[in-house]
Structure 1
Amino acid sequence: MIRANRGDSAYWKGWVTYGEESICQAKMHASTSPGDPSYEPQYLFTLMQKHLHQMLRLYSAGNAVAQMTAYFPALLDAWDRSKRLGAEQWDEDEQYTRNAWRVNYDHYIVCFWLVGLALALEIPDQQWEQLLTLVGNEGEDRLLDRIIASRSPQRRIGDVLLYPKPYARLLKAIDDQPDQRASALLDFVRHWYGEVGAGARSGVGKQATAFKHPYWYRYGDENFEGGAYFGRWCVEAVAAVKAFGLDDRLCLGQKHYPQALLHPETLPAQQSLEAKPEERRGFWSRLFNRKSG
């Protein structure tokens, strides 16, 4: 069963296939082509993002949640290589602006999503520790540090909430009176998409790059047929539910709440959206005809 609010079966089958092929091509290029050394760290970070996007694409397509865990090892490897090469290619200021939550809202959200997925999918301890090393920013944010600390109690907790919009609502859900937490969580989920677009302007630090909204925010509104859209999922809410045992029953059925990460459906094998060869050919034929038309 397709979970995303947009796209039919043919759309998701085609773009799941494309995502897989894109990852394979990017991995092959990264391992064989010397390229421009100064661009290599960014290329590898983009490869890491491709894995993240594919995980969310699989979720949107309705595939079994367990399939998502297979992408973590290669994702972590690409990110690790990116950071090591970045330390060689970029000066300290460049490394800071790319990795610091305080000045890079996009990176904060990516880290939040990866932590949330890691908690929900219960990745092995070795992968979790590698993820935390890559995430870094210990002691920087009152919310995300606390969520991380639910699995790594030694984590130092930040004193400030870096992005009050939309995350003050989620922090309230965690800190509220027990009988108010469920409704506070629902309030966060309902406002998440509307407020996350303007979150950078609420930040406590000036952003390194001026932008109106997160890089993925308009995917689906712009060039939907081009396949950039991987769904719009409030993984941050799942992270908090998993970390603190929040009652999420009021959120079930909300269009941005990825409930199957915590309440997996049982999908019959025939509903898997891994495309068959003849379906792939049909998809690419339609795509090329559309481009040439």
Structure 2
Amino acid sequence: MLRDTRADQAYFDNVVEYLTTRCESNDRRFERPVEKWADPKMIGQVAGDVMKQRWDRFSALYSQGASVEVLRAEFDAVLSDAERALRLELEFLPIEQRVVRFAFGNSKDFYREWLSLVSLALAFRVDDATFDRVVAAVEFGWGDRLIDRLIASRRPLHPVGETLSFPKIVGALNEAFDAADPSQTIEKYLKNWYTAWKGIWGWGGHESLGKNLYSGYWAFEATGVVVALGIDGTLFRSNEFYPGDLLTSGASA
């Protein structure tokens, strides 16, 4: 059943099909030998950039009304692409370029991808081996206090950093870990979600539906905090950005 009413079912069906083609094209691109690339550094850069289409497809599937089983399978595809991106970034991007590209507070898009990947792993209650893959895939996000806290909810020995990459955006989610009533801070976060994330990839896309730029506005990261803290997620069901259907029958809804 359609979850996002900013567009109709036919729109999201079309967007999923369009993004499926884009993702398949991206996969073929990385099958090319290194010598076919004009500059090998582009391999590492493109590997990270094309994650946008993979995340858009996951979001569009959720908006379209895909089942939890379909979304769980798509999560595996997202994780595999994230692992590929990290591997190629480490192999082909010079360290000085990586330092700037992935510096804390530099890219909201990369940060949101790392945060979403860990949060979805918690929401889907993935097995330990898969969770370890997720932790490894977000290596460039280690040291961020919120990402580390989410990881530490399943890996208590994981060190938790003191730095919050985007405090003005996710400060409320981070505060939830220390709050007497964390549901209030999460509710505050969700209420301001769209405004806080201004400028991210796809922001404002609902105003350009004819260009396949909109895949849905979903605070996937909120589900991770809900699971990590054992909160009753049904409290947020009425919020338009909260993807409550992601949580399986064994998790808080």
Question: With structure 1 as the length reference, what TM-score do the two structures score?
Answer: 0.76
Q: Report the CA distance shift for 1:166/1:56 in structure 2 as closer, same or farther (over 3 A).
A: same
What's the offset of the Cα at 1:139?
5.4
Equivalent position to 2:102, from 99, 102, 107: 99
Aligned partner of 1:258 in structure 2 is: 243
Question: Conserved in 2, the CA contact under 8 Å of 1:40 and 1:85?
Answer: yes
What's the offset of the Cα at 1:83?
2.8
Give the % identical residues: 28
Which digits, 9 at most, give the CA deviation of each residue in 1:28-69, with x for residues without a partner? 232146333232222322343322221111001011022122
Tell me if 1:194 matches 2:195. Answer: yes
Which digits, 9 at most, give the CA deviation of each residue in 1:175-210, with x for residues without a partner? 211xx332332122111222222xxxxxxxxxxxxx
Which digits, 9 at most, give the CA deviation of each residue in 1:94-149, with x for residues without a partner? 11222333433321111111111111122333332122112114652222211111
Question: Conserved in 1, the CA contact under 8 Å of 2:234 and 2:244?
Answer: no
Question: Conserved in 2, the CA contact under 8 Å of 1:12 and 1:61?
Answer: yes
Q: Report the CA distance shift for 1:256/1:50 in structure 2 as closer, same or farther (over 3 A).
A: same
Tell me if 1:218 matches 2:204. Answer: yes
Question: With structure 2 as the length reference, what TM-score do the two structures score?
Answer: 0.87
For residues 216 and 130 of structure 1, what CA distance do their matches in structure 2 show? Answer: 27
What's the offset of the Cα at 1:263?
5.8
Structure 2, unpaired ranges of 5+:
none
Structure 1, unpaired ranges of 5+:
198-212, 265-293
- Alignment length, in residue pairs? 246
Equivalent position to 2:121, from 115, 118, 122: 118
Question: Conserved in 1, the CA contact under 8 Å of 2:82 and 2:137?
Answer: yes
Question: Conserved in 1, the CA contact under 8 Å of 2:45 and 2:93?
Answer: no
Q: Report the CA distance shift for 1:103/1:15 in structure 2 as closer, same or farther (over 3 A).
A: closer
For residues 82 and 195 of structure 1, what CA distance do their matches in structure 2 show? Answer: 27
More RCO (CA 8 Å, sep 6+): 1
Question: Conserved in 2, the CA contact under 8 Å of 1:121 and 1:261?
Answer: yes
Aligned partner of 1:87 in structure 2 is: 90
For residues 54 and 99 of structure 1, what CA distance do their matches in structure 2 show? Answer: 23
Which aligned pairs between 1:1-293 and structure 2 lie closer than 5 A?
1-32=1-32, 34-36=36-38, 37-137=40-140, 140-177=143-180, 180-197=181-198, 213-221=199-207, 223-262=208-247
Q: Report the CA distance shift for 1:185/1:99 in structure 2 as closer, same or farther (over 3 A).
A: same
Q: Which moved more, 1:188-197 or 1:66-75?
A: 66-75
For residues 163 and 44 of structure 1, what CA distance do their matches in structure 2 show? Answer: 24
For residues 60 and 125 of structure 2, what CA distance do their matches in structure 1 show? Answer: 19
Give 3-state SS (helix, strand or coil) of 2:114's partner.
helix
Give 3-state SS (helix, strand or coil) of 1:146's partner.
helix
Q: Which moved more, 1:6-15 or 1:167-176?
A: 167-176
For residues 165 and 3 of structure 2, what CA distance do their matches in structure 1 show? Answer: 31
Give 3-state SS (helix, strand or coil) of 1:175's partner.
coil
For residues 65 and 178 of structure 2, what CA distance do their matches in structure 1 show? Answer: 33
For residues 12 and 90 of structure 1, what CA distance do their matches in structure 2 show? Answer: 35
